[in-house]
């Protein structure tokens, strides 16, 4: 199984036209949050339609810059991973959208307790499945994937605690544009692709009951 993931789209979908070779054999696309810039369902629909035109099998999370009503919109479209778990081609996939609390009062922010509880709801639906793929718009705290300019970590302590406790194989994240990187917490690979306009994307391959993730650029 081949999964292609990217996030922090912010309405800038033009790089999809450059991904024909990448997406040709993809089994699934995962959009890891921030489809829009402070937009609602109508703006999210534009992005989702563009992604679906590139590959029909899609899952998605809203990010902190998507308005809260994007969450039920994605649920109605049967693509949401927020607080949900799905098994696709033998891989358990679960997630949490939005972000931890920021100084900027963005539209969809969660407390650390809410992030943990949302991840736990999704995990409960796939807990017996291996391998496991966690998708959290906010990267876990204190990794190469959550550093703002200047190097300060601003990721989610709840996401980190969840990874340490339940050890998913891979965690896909985003949110912090300047931290496109690959890191690890124990046996869990953490990947942030950065903003989609910069050409970053993640390829996750499932084989032999294991997941391997790589960060790529157009």
Mean pLDDT, residues 204-218:
96
Give the integer Cα–Cα distance in Å for 4 and 137. 15
What is the tens place of the pLDDT at every residue in 144-192? Answer: 999 999 999 999 999 999 999 999 999 999 999 999 999 999 999 999 9
Tokens linked to 107: 């539209």
How far is the CA of 127 from the CAs of 24, 130, 137, 157, in angstroms? 31, 8, 20, 21
For the chain, the average pLDDT equals 97
Going along the chain from its start, the domains and CATH numbers come out as 2-217 (3.60.21.10)
Binned at pLDDT 50, 70 and 90, residue 67 comes out as: very high
What is the tens place of the pLDDT at every residue in 73-132? Answer: 999 999 999 999 999 999 999 999 999 999 999 999 999 999 999 999 999 999 999 999
Contact status, residue 197 vs residue 217, Cβ threshold 8 Å: no
Binned at pLDDT 50, 70 and 90, residue 56 comes out as: confident
Name the β-bridge partners of 5: 30, 202
DSSP of 194-218: -BGGGTEEEEEEEETTEEEEEEEE-
Give the integer Cα–Cα distance in Å for 51 and 13. 8
Give the integer Cα–Cα distance in Å for 166 and 132. 10
Helix and strand numbers, DSSP H then E, in the chain: 5, 13
- Alpha carbon distance, N-terminus to C-terminus of the chain: 21
Q: Which of 82, 88, 84, 95 is nearest to 162 (CA)?
A: 95
What is the tens place of the pLDDT at every residue in 11-46? Answer: 999 999 999 999 999 999 999 999 999 999 999 999
pLDDT of 66 over the 90 cut = yes
> How many residues belong to the chain?
218
Give the integer Cα–Cα distance in Å for 47 and 216. 21
Give the integer Cα–Cα distance in Å for 56 and 97. 21
């Amino acid at each position: 199984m081949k999964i292609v993931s990217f996030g922090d789209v912010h309405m800038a979908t033009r790089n999809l036209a450059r991904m024909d070779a990448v997406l040709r054999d993809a089994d699934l696309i995962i959009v890891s949050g921030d489809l829009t810039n402070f937009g609602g369902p109508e703006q999210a629909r534009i992005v989702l339609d563009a992604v679906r035109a590139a590959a029909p099998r899609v899952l998605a999370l809203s990010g902190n810059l998507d308005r809260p009503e994007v969450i039920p919109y994605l649920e109605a479209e049967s693509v949401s991973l927020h607080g949900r778990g799905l098994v696709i081609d033998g891989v358990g996939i679960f997630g949490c959208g939005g972000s931890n609390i920021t100084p900027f009062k963005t539209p969809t922010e969660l407390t650390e307790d809410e992030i943990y509880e949302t991840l736990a709801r999704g995990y409960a639906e796939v807990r017996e499945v291996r391998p496991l793929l966690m998708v959290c718009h906010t990267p876990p705290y204190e990794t190469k994937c959550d550093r703002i300019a200047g190097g300060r970590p601003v990721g989610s302590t709840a996401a980190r605690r969840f990874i340490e406790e339940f050890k998913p194989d891979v965690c896909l994240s985003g949110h912090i544009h300047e931290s496109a990187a690959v890191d690890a917490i124990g046996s869990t690979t953490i990947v942030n692709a950065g903003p989609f306009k910069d050409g970053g994307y993640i390829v996750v391959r499932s084989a032999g009951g294991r997941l391997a993730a790589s960060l790529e650029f157009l």
